[in-house]
Every structure is written in structure tokens, then in C-alpha cells.
Amino acid sequence: MSRFLNKRLKGVTPYVPGEQPKDGRIIKLNTNESPFGPSPQVAKRLKEMKGFHRYPDPSTQKATQAISRYYGLDPEQLLLGNGSDELLSFSFYAYGTKMIFPQITYGFYPVVARAFGEHFREIPLEKDLSINPKTYYNAGATVVLANPNAPTGLALKKKEIQGILENNRNNMVIVDEAYVDFGAESVVPLVGKYENLLVIQTFSKSRGLASMRIGLAMAQREIIDDLKRIKYSFNPYSVSGEALAAVEASLEDRLYFEKTTGEVAETRTWFSHEMRRLGHRVVESRANFVLVTGGKAYQEYLWSRGIMVRHFDKKPIADYVRITIGTREEMKKVVEVTEERYA
């Protein structure tokens, strides 16, 4: 840290992303990526691309129109970003000052809030690790919820989020739907109805495009205009031409998307059942990962067998590990290796 750094940033502990191993033999189940990758149409489109010497379209018009058709929202209700982390940062900057979010949720939220010098309150989860929607009523602050939540995988119903929206007419409610495509209810259909709703999604998980950095914000026009104001004051070309082409190709291949997300959900059900059979408690997940008991010792054991999973050294989830759902083969290997531990 230099002595010139802004005082506000001196106390910030940056977010620590899950490791990216260099060794290809490792089974990587620690950062919730897709085991399948994007639709083959994406690679095809990228191969045909020309014009790398030109700036991408800062208004992202073509890709935005494709998203508009896909979700049935107006183009003015959409904004693409350099990953949803960028859009989350913009929204925290826009609607920060006072914020509340769960005590156990995406670890990036408190980091961004601190970086922008915002006050935030963390609400404990219920005993069963669920979120009680009523604890977010009349929050007097910007509400931030990941739905499904991470790293629990538990999801709120659309009705429950609607309750939070109804009871926060003067507060923004940001719903991070990074994992919604794996089996939770999206609140995108409520965008037209609530001026205080901002939905954020990503192409990193269910669309297998983590490396491309594509995030999507959906809200009423005034909210999107706020975010654009920040984008154009910050980094007008934040989404690359390659990423924009990938958005279009990915959305066009609906069949691949449904097949791969469906397969992840099936494997999740199978894997959860197997882990319970082996005596682990498993949180009922609607995401592409599951939280299972075992804690640090289990994480280290799996690591010694070449399987990367994530442990959070934080109450009340310190006794768990989070395991990303990979291919059926990979998950069979996890079950096998776990059985050997007890043999």
C-alpha cells in the first residue's frame, strides 16, 4: 500500500476469488463455472469476427435488442456490463449510502460497499440458513439479495420478493440472479411493475461464459439511466465486441441452454441424494452448487485427491463446504473419493 492511497481504501480487504489451477487434471468445483462451456455457436461466431481494430459499440445496440426480444423487456430497460460484478459495483455506487444484505451471501457485497465508503448492515440468516423476507421489510436502506443465495443455494419465491418490494416503496431492491437459471423463480416479470426493482444477471454461470465477462441489468428506464450515467463516467467501452457477439450467439441457441442447465439440475439432485446417503447434511439447492457438511477437513481431504471445492471460514457455514456441480463424471468421482474416506 502506498502512502498516497485514498484513506477510504486503506481499510478495504479486497474480495478473494476462488483459485484458478494451472494443472488440467484437477477437478475444479470451486467457482461455480459451467462444466459444459457455452453453446458451440459462440465459438463459431467468434471465429467469423473481424474488426478488432475498432472500438465496440458503446450502446451495445444489437446485443441489447437480442436480449430485449428474449426477455420481453424494452431495450431501455437493459444494460450490459463487464460481468455482473461491474453492474453490482455501479448499483452500489448509485444506490449505496445505506445498504442491507444477508450476513451470509456473495462475499463481494461487503467489499464493494466498503470500497465506496457506504454504511451497511448484515442480517443473520435463519437457523436453517434461509432468508426471512420479513426481516427486509421497511429496510430504510437499499436491499441487496442474491436469489438463489450464495453459498447456501436456497431461493426465495417470487411472491416473497414481491413482499419485500411492496414494503420498500422508497428503497431500491437489488436482486442478484446469478444462479436463477438452475431452478429458481426469476423476478424479471416484475420489472414493469416496481420502480424500485433492479435485477442483475450474468452469462458467467448458466451460459458458460465466465471468461467473456458479461453481466446484465434489468430495471425500469430511470434506473437503467442512472447506471448508464455511471458507466459513461467510468468506462464507456466496458463490454468488448467479442462479448457482444457471444451474447447474441448464446441467446439464439435456446436448446443448448435448456439442455445444459437441465443437466446440471439433474446432477445436483443425484449428487445431493448420494451425499445424504453418505451421511452428509446437504442444503436444498436451486443453484449450480450445493453446500454440504464436512468443513475445512473435508475440503482439505478433497484437495489432497485433486478436487477443488470452497470452504468459508465463517459462522454459521464453517462446518460446510460448497461444491460446484460439474459433469456427472466429475460428481461421481467426488462421491467415490468421499466413500473412500469412510472406508
Ligand X SMILES: *Cc1c(COP(=O)(O)O)cnc(C)c1O
* Positions in the binding site for ligand X (CB under 6 A): 32, 83-85, 106, 146, 150, 176, 178, 202, 204, 210, 215
C-alpha 113/C-alpha 12 separation (Å) is: 9
Report the residue number whose CB is nearest to ligand X.
83
Q: Which is nearer to ligand X, 207 or 338 (CB)?
A: 207
Task: Give the nearest distance from C-beta 178 to ligand X in angstroms.
Answer: 4
Nearest distance, CB of residue 209 and ligand X, angstroms: 9
For ligand X, the closer of residues 35 and 274 by Cβ is 35
**Helix pair angle (61-71, 241-252), 10° resolution:** 30
Q: Cβ of residue 108: shortest distance to ligand X, in angstroms?
A: 7
Nearer to ligand X by C-beta: 75 or 107? 107
CB of 7 to ligand X, least distance (A): 28
For Cα atoms 204, 326, 174, give the angle at the middle one, nearest 5 degrees: 35
Residues 6 or more apart whose Cβ sits within 8 Å of residue 201:
84, 177, 178, 180, 215, 216, 218
Closest contact distance (angstroms) between CB of 215 and ligand X is 4
Q: Name which of 210 and 323 has its Cβ closer to ligand X.
A: 210
CA–CA distances in Å: residue 274 to residues 65, 195, 196, 269, 280: 43, 44, 42, 9, 9
Q: Pick the closer one to ligand X by CB: 186 or 202.
A: 202
Task: Give how far Cα 103 sits from Cα of 111, 317, 321, Å.
Answer: 13, 11, 17
